[in-house]
Amino acid sequence: MSAALQRSTLEGQNTDCQRAAAGKNLQKCDPGLPIRQIRLGPGLVKSAGPCMVARQTLYAPPCGRRQRNPAELNFMFLTKSLRTKAAGMACLLLTLTMPAILAAFPAAAKVLATVNGKQITDDDMKIAADDLRGTLPPQLDGKARDSYLLDYLINSELVAQKAIADKADQTPEFAKKLAYYREKLLMTSELEKVAAGAATDAAIKATYDEEIKKQKPETEIHARHILVATEDEAKAALKRLMGGEDFEKIAKDLSKDPASEGGDLGWFTKDRMVPEFADAAFKLEVGQVSDPVKSPFGWHIIEILDKREKTPPTFDQVKDQVSRYVVQKAQIAYVADLRKNAKIELTEPPDPKTDTPAAASSAPAAPAPAPAAPGKKPGKK
């Protein structure tokens, strides 16, 4: 399986991740579902979190952007929705091409409004709703949403009628754009057919089962930490802790990690933390406290609260993500097959200096210092 097929789409960073990054939080925001169990390949890529690394996953977590290879980026650019392109042009094209579209589908449509004699139908409403999907104000629902869409169509029709009166549709530039958007509409329609044929219940379940079989047992820990700027501060915090003070109180007094509550990091697997922190934390047993551990973000005192084997997500938990992956895989393969059987001639070959992806660094990270045991022995529970 090629690298392009080993990656899934990512919807984008959420605000929790942004807050975590701003607060130098060690851990990614909780993805809600343990979907990181399902992987394709062992490679590592940088995450957008302040100190996180993430494996290439079949179902990317909803926080942190990952790097994509050129083939995948080209495909994503190819299939980017029309609704992200010039809204004014789309409105004008909708008005100009709607008679031909409706002529191909003679079923009567319900007329919702007329604008200078031009009808706006419920079919127009459906097309607009699909075109604006994801951009409509989230608070709109039911009648309010329909009213918003109808106003949008009325305004679009008015602007389009004025553009036609000004002969904007008779310029060479308009003809070029019309041809371009026509091809994009055809492409979108064709890829939607590919998606419908690929995303069957059987295919989605088979993909899930296949990836689950590849999973290896993975441990996750529940830990908390105190993050300070210097080693001396870390030693002072450890001294207070060994003297019997409450960990949470010390963390609230001293920790530079505002994103964690009393130092609590919740549950995480080893790959979700920077290597220096993760190596030290996963060497500890439940109840153990580390010596000061240095990471790119400062000095840490780590306590392990619990350990467990992470279980893979259920099919229902990740069905939507699996479906998106199956669709993307099928569409990439479909386009690749078309390219393979096509005669494509580039008049200006790409520059290898700019089009060749840089090799990813595979240098191993420095090992974390082994936790030792001053005072109240870290090895004691």
Cβ atoms of residues 33 and 314 within 8 Å: no
Contacts of 344 (CB under 8 A, 6+ apart): none
How, if at all, do strands 264-269 and 218-228 pair?
antiparallel
Contacts of 70 (CB under 8 A, 6+ apart): 355, 357
Domain boundary assignment for the chain: 3-76+211-310, 83-190
- Looking at per-residue pLDDT, the higher value among 166 and 87 belongs to 166
pLDDT at 108: 78
Is the per-residue pLDDT at 304 higher than 70?
A: yes
| pLDDT tens sequence across 84-110 | 444 445 555 555 555 555 555 556 789
In this structure, which topology does domain 3-76+211-310 adopt according to CATH? Answer: Chitinase A; domain 3 (3.10.50)
**Separation of alpha carbons 323 and 195, rounded Å:** 9
Lowest mean pLDDT among 14-28, 231-245, 275-289, 345-359: 14-28
| pLDDT tens sequence across 20-71 | 433 444 443 333 333 333 333 333 233 333 333 333 333 333 333 344 444 4
Q: Cα 162 from chain centroid? A: 41
| pLDDT tens sequence across 192-245 | 999 999 999 999 999 999 999 998 889 999 999 999 999 999 999 999 999 999
pTM, whole model, 2 decimals? 0.53
pLDDT band for 360, please (50, 70, 90 cuts): very low
Sign of the dihedral defined by the CA atoms of residues 286, 288, 289, 292, in that order = negative
Neighbours of 291 (CB within 10 A): 20
